[in-house]
Amino acid sequence: MYLTLRQLQIFDAVVRQRSFTRAADALHLTQPAVSMQMRHLEEQIGVPLFDHVGKQIQPTDAGRELHRHATLISAKMRDLTSAMEEYRGIHRGELDLTVASTANYFMPKLIAAFCACHAKVQVRLQVSNQTHILETLSASNQDLAIMGQPPEDAELVARGFLDNPLMVIASPTHPLAERRKIPLAQLGHQPFITREPGSGTRHAAERHFSRHGVEFHSVMEMSSNEAIKQAVEAGLGLGILSLHTLELELATRRLVTLDVESFPIVRQWFVVHRKGKRLSAVAQSFLAFLTEQARRLASPKHPRPGPLRHKLDRAANMDVTDENHT
C-alpha cells in the first residue's frame, strides 16, 4: 500500500467538507478528479472510507481512523516546512488561527496590522465556538486560538494578552441609564437578555451575581452578541457583554453602559496552543506581536471616558484571578 500526501490532502478536504464537490472547489480541482482520487485511495486501502447519507457523505470507522492519522501527518509536514524555512531565514508561510466569536470584534484589526508587517504571511482565520476551537487544537489543525475562557487542560498552553471587561448595558432611555454608583443588589430585580447556557460571558455574569448574593434573572436567551444588543436597544432588558463588542453602539449612543458597583468584571483574552506543538516562526512572530500591540490596537473607544476609564483602571488592578477562569 502506497499513499501519497496529495491523496491524504484531498481525503482531508472531503471529510471536512462532507462533499466531493465542495472539496473540489476548496482545492481548485474538478469534482471528477476528486472522485477518482478517492476511488483509488479506497482501492489501495481495501475498505470503504465513506458512507453516503442523503446529500452528504460521512467517513466510515476506517475513514475516521485514516483521517486522524492524516491530520497528524499534515501537522508534521507543516512543522517540517517551517523548520526548514527557519534554517533558510525565511519568515513567510501560513498561520491557521481560530478565534471565539466575541474576539472577532477586535482580532481583524490585529491581524491586518500583523500582515502589514509580514506581507509574505497568509493568515487563515476561522471564527467558531469554544467546543470546536478545542477540537481543532486537539487535532493539531490550528496553530493558535484566541478565546476568553482558557480550558483547564494539561495538554494546552494558555497565555493572557488582553483585558476583557464585561459591562452592564442598557437602552439610553432605561430608568437606570443616568444613575451613578448603582448597587448590584438593585439589578436583582431587573430582567437580563443573555447568551445561551454554556456561554463564557453568561457564566461569568451568573458567577459574579452569585458571589455577591444577588439573584440573576435571565428572561430571554440569544445565540449572538448582535441579537442581545438589538434586544437591549429595544428596551427588552439589560445585558452583560464584553466592552470590545460595543464600540459602535456606545459611540452612537444606541446603548449605554451602567455605572454599577463591582463592575466591570475584568476577564482576559487568551492565546492558546497545544502543549508540545512546535510553533512555526510565523506563529512565534504573531505571539510576540500580540503581546506588544494588542492593547494599543484593540483598546475599544467609548463615551463617558472619565468615570468609566477610572472604573476600568481600578478593576484592572484588583485581584480578578477567580473571574479569569470562569
Residue 219 pLDDT > 70? yes
What architecture is the 164-267+302-324 domain classified under in CATH? 3-Layer(aba) Sandwich (3.40)
Q: What is the 3-state secondary structure (H, E, C) of 253-287?
A: CCCEECCECCCCEEEEEEEEEECCCCCCHHHHHHH
- How many other C-beta atoms are found inside a 10 Å radius of the C-beta of residue 231? 18
CB 266 within 8 A of CB 318: yes
Q: What is the mean pLDDT of the chain?
A: 83
Average pLDDT over residues 243-252: 92
What architecture is the 90-162+269-298 domain classified under in CATH? 3-Layer(aba) Sandwich (3.40)
Nearest Cα neighbor of 83 from 289, 277, 273 is 277
Q: Do domains 90-162+269-298 and 164-267+302-324 have the same CATH topology?
A: yes
What pLDDT is attached to residue 262? 93
The C-alpha cell at 72 is 497528524
CB 272 within 8 A of CB 150: yes
Quote the crossing angle between the two packed helices 31-45 and 20-27, to the nearest 10°: 110
Q: Which CATH number fits domain 5-72: 1.10.10.10, 3.40.50.720, 1.20.140.10, 1.20.1050.10?
A: 1.10.10.10
| SS3 at position 140 | coil
Higher pLDDT, 86 or 167: 167
Residue pLDDT, tens place only, 79-91: 777 667 665 555 6
CB 253 within 8 A of CB 169: no
What pTM did the predictor assign?
0.62
* Coarse DSSP helix, strand, coil percentages of the chain, rounded to the nearest 5 percent: 50, 20, 30
When computed from its CA atoms, the radius of gyration of the chain, rounded to whole angstroms, is 23
The C-alpha cell at 120 is 509574505
Residue 6: which residues within 8 A CB-CB, separation 6 or more? 37
- Residue type for position 276: G
What pLDDT is attached to residue 132? 77
| Residue-range domain boundaries for the chain | 5-72, 90-162+269-298, 164-267+302-324
Nearest Cα neighbor of 191 from 175, 180, 211, 212 is 175
Q: Which DSSP string do the residues of 293-314 spell out, in sequence order?
A: HHHHHHPPP-S-HHHHHHHHHH
- Residue type for position 39: R
What pLDDT is attached to residue 324? 40
Residue pLDDT, tens place only, 117-153: 888 888 988 887 777 787 777 766 678 999 887 767 7
Average pLDDT over residues 73-100: 74
DSSP letter, residue 196: P
What pLDDT is attached to residue 26? 86
The torsion angle over the Cα atoms of residues 112, 156, 13 and 47, rounded to 10 degrees, is: 170
Higher pLDDT, 314 or 54: 54
Residue 53: which residues within 8 A CB-CB, separation 6 or more? none
